[in-house]
Amino acid sequence: MKIVDARVIVTCPGRNLVTLKIETDEGIYGIGDATLNGRELAVVAYLEEHVAPALIGRDPSSIEDIWQFFYRGAYWRRGPVTMSAIGAVDMALWDIMGKAAGMPLYKLLGGKSRERVMVYGHATGHDIEGCLEEVQRHVDLGYRAVRVQCGIPGIASTYGVAKKAGERYEPADSSLPSENVWSTSKYLNHVPKLFQAVRERFGDDLHILHDVHHRLTPIEAARLGKEVEPYHLFWLEDCVPAENQSAFGLIRQHTTTPLAVGEVFNSIHDCRELIESQSIDYIRATLTHAGGITHVRRIAALAELYHVRTGFHGPTDLSPVCMGAALHFDTWVPNFGIQEHMPHSEEIEEVFPHAYRFEDGHFTPGEAPGHGVDIDEALAAKYPYKRASLPVNRLEDGTLWHW
Ligand SMILES: O=C(O)C(=O)C[C@H](O)[C@H](O)CO
Ligand SMILES: [Mg+2]
């Protein structure tokens, strides 16, 4: 089998999504997700100029060699643009090999380690009461695990809270970055009350997750982790920016609240120190941004040695193609923890027909060969690219802060 074509499809059915389609001389094709929120066209240019032409004529079953060719061969290793491009190629090749073998991807990876994959949904509200209503809605839908985020009194807008009740949260909300204001002290004084209210209303069994979105210093994160221990969070996510990985050691000394990190990581080298020092509990690097199945498999294997489990990133800025491939990976990977799930809009679901299904707080990947997600190219063409940027954050005195 030979690769005869590789094309990039950009579509914006409500948000920008980038898909790589690789076709073979035997009529089998595979698709991979290459979406990097707010920087989509950088990956498109990388794929079109530097990757697609070099794929033509290669044997799609040489998945490892093709991965090494684009990783080592670029000379300029790592980084989100390079690794998203490689991730899309890798996902598409695994899809082709699954279709060629007539097997769902999870079987190629080693078969089922579990019958279904637990996911967590997002409950958000302008205040605690609004968030509790959303938690109830998720519980009614069968979710066993819910991420909770609420507005902070005195801060006009905050991460994870939809503009209007019941609306989807979409951070890339304007062509150029919108500016938000952040106050760590107001946040730290308020957010423990949210977890207390969720436990009081929903009891001990519901898994509660929370995303700090990189905003604290290590000692502030240590304070938060310690203060919320009575509410037994499933995890506290991205409590500090993770460039300085030894910072997690400091947080760890002070709290038993489980820590999750890694959605902005793109290689095993970003994860290694945190995993080996046993400073984290869940690793969130996922297939699109961290070099595809071939590379994330290595991250998961390293993590397993240190009791770290997977908790893949799964926002709507990753396309259903990533979601489908991730669900196969989650079905197989021995050290699975949980999978994030933000439902895509109806328009997106129509552009990307898929075999995965939600039932009772869990997903199954389906039995279709490959990763089971397709793209309706004619429909995709009806939604042209629209520039959208992620916001920036400033402290109340105007200092630029982490968003
Ligand atoms: O889903 C999460 O946990 C996120 O933090 C979502 C990110 O803000 C989003 O992917 C940025 O593009
Ligand atoms: Mg996050």
Rounded distance from Cα 161 to ligand 2 centre (Å): 13
pLDDT of 111 reads 98
Domain boundaries, the chain: 3-104, 108-368
pLDDT band, very low/low/confident/very high, at 168 (cuts 50, 70, 90): confident
Rounded distance from Cα 190 to ligand 1 centre (Å): 22
Rounded distance from Cα 391 to ligand 1 centre (Å): 12
> In the chain, what is the straight-line distance between the N-terminal and C-terminal CA atoms, in Å?
46
Residue 172 CA: nearest ligand 1 atom is 12
Cα 53 to its chain centre, rounded Å, is 28
Residue of 122, 190, 213, 295 marked catalytic: 213
pLDDT of 167 reads 76
Question: Probe ligand 1: pick from 119, 157, 313, max atoms within 8 Å of CB?
Answer: 313
Exposed/middle/buried for 176, CB within 10 Å: 0-12, 13-18, 19+? exposed
For residue 211 and ligand 1, the question of a CB distance below 6 A is answered with yes
Q: Quick: pLDDT tens for 140-152.
A: 999 999 999 999 9
Measuring from atom 10 of ligand 1, which residue has the nearest CA? 315
Sheet holding 3-11, edge to edge: 3-11, 17-24, 29-33
Question: Probe ligand 1: pick from 263, 283, 341, 393, max atoms within 8 Å of CB?
Answer: 263
Average pLDDT, the chain: 97
Q: Quick: pLDDT tens for 89-120.
A: 999 999 999 999 999 999 999 999 999 999 99
Q: φ, ψ for residue 379 (rounded to 5)? A: -70, -40
Cβ-Cβ contacts under 8 Å for 354 (sequence gap 6 or more): 320, 323, 324, 366, 372, 373, 374
pLDDT of 106 reads 98
CB atoms within 10 A of CB 399: 9
pLDDT band, very low/low/confident/very high, at 132 (cuts 50, 70, 90): very high
Measuring from atom 2 of ligand 1, which residue has the nearest CA? 315
pTM of the model: 0.97
Residue 122 CA: nearest ligand 1 atom is 1
Q: Quick: pLDDT tens for 256-292.
A: 999 999 999 999 999 999 999 999 999 999 999 999 9
For residue 340 and ligand 1, the question of a CB distance below 6 A is answered with yes
CB atoms within 10 A of CB 253: 10
The number of residues making up the chain comes to: 403
For residue 213 and ligand 1, the question of a CB distance below 6 A is answered with yes
Please provide the CATH number assigned to the domain covering 108-368.
3.20.20.120
Residue 159 CA: nearest ligand 1 atom is 8
- Whole-angstrom Cα distance, residue 128 to residue 130? 5
Residue of 71, 120, 143, 159 marked catalytic: 159
- Whole-angstrom Cα distance, residue 362 to residue 100? 28
Tell me if residue 306 is catalytic.
no
Strand duo 235-237 + 259-261: pairing: parallel
- Whole-angstrom Cα distance, residue 338 to residue 7? 33
pLDDT band, very low/low/confident/very high, at 324 (cuts 50, 70, 90): very high
pLDDT of 338 reads 98
Question: Probe ligand 1: pick from 124, 211, 282, max atoms within 8 Å of CB?
Answer: 211
Measuring from atom 11 of ligand 1, which residue has the nearest CA? 37
Tell me if residue 159 is catalytic.
yes
With tokens 């940027």, the residue in question is: 389
Please provide the CATH number assigned to the domain covering 3-104.
3.30.390.10
* Cα 92 to Cα 7, 105, 117, distances in angstroms: 11, 11, 22
Dig out the tokens for 382 from the structure: 């009806």
Helix (H, G, I), strand (E, B) or coil at 7: strand
Rounded distance from Cα 37 to ligand 1 centre (Å): 9
Dig out the tokens for 290 from the structure: 């961290």
Answer whether residue 160 shows pLDDT above 90: no
CA angle, residues 15, 16, 17, in degrees to nearest 5: 115
Residue 315 CA: nearest ligand 1 atom is 1
* Cα 151 to Cα 40, 97, 158, 183, 378, distances in angstroms: 29, 46, 6, 12, 40
